[in-house]
Amino acid sequence: MTDAVGSIDMPDAQDEAPDSRKKNRKGGKRAKKGPLKRLALFYRQIIAELRKVVWPTRNQLTTYTTVVIIFVVIMIGLVTVIDYGLGHVAKYVFG
């Protein structure tokens, strides 16, 4: 299945048509381009995907960061309390 843009792994319909003048190459479109052209295509695809991203505003980013930091601090406290409690239980049981 291909998306609207197409896939570099799948050959186009025009590539599948038999042509007596051209030799069929393996690999579809990849075999027709050099490594620098493939790298440039990869870079262009990365930029196109990054343009589709909905970036958060500064206020949203601050809110998300604050929530994550508070959650991490709470989890550190919880793990510390559990570790401290289990340490005392182990001392009580094993002497």
Please state, in angstroms and rounded to a whole number, the distance separating the CA atoms of residues 91 and 95: 5
Nearest to 15 by CA among 5, 1, 25: 25
Mean pLDDT of the chain: 82
pLDDT given at position 12:
56
Please state, in angstroms and rounded to a whole number, the distance separating the CA atoms of residues 59 and 66: 11
Matching residue, tokens 């991490």: 72
pTM above the 0.75 mark? no
At residue 32 the predicted structure's pLDDT band, cuts being 50, 70 and 90, is confident
